[in-house]
Amino acid sequence: MVLVTVRLPPQATLTQAMRRLGLSEEEVDTGYGLVLIDPGQGLYGLRVSEEAARRIDPEAGGGPYADPRIEPYGPPG
């Protein structure tokens, strides 16, 4: 899976995003969901398969972006 950004109407849902972008449930990380990044610009983050990311119209969004695992660094303080 890779991260992409997409522009959607305010208060968009994951189902609406998938329908608008022509994505199936198998192509989207539904557990990650649709994450609002910038409400002013209607910009959301979404994890999709690499194949799906290639099909998304560049006018609808950006990416793909790396999605590195985030974990603590060093022993707990």
For residue 39, give both structure tokens: 């409400």
pLDDT, position 64: 84
**C-alpha gyration radius of the chain:** 14
The predicted structure's pLDDT at residue 38: 93
Q: Does 12 or 65 have the greater pLDDT score?
A: 12
- Write out pLDDT tens, residues 20-71: 999 999 999 999 999 999 999 999 999 999 999 998 888 887 888 877 777 8
pTM above 0.85, yes or no: no
Query: What's the pLDDT at 50?
Result: 92
Strand (E) or helix (H) holding 50: helix 50-55
Asked if residue 52 lies in contact with residue 28, where contact means CB atoms within 8 angstroms, the answer is: yes
DSSP track, 54-72: HHS-TTTEEEEE-------
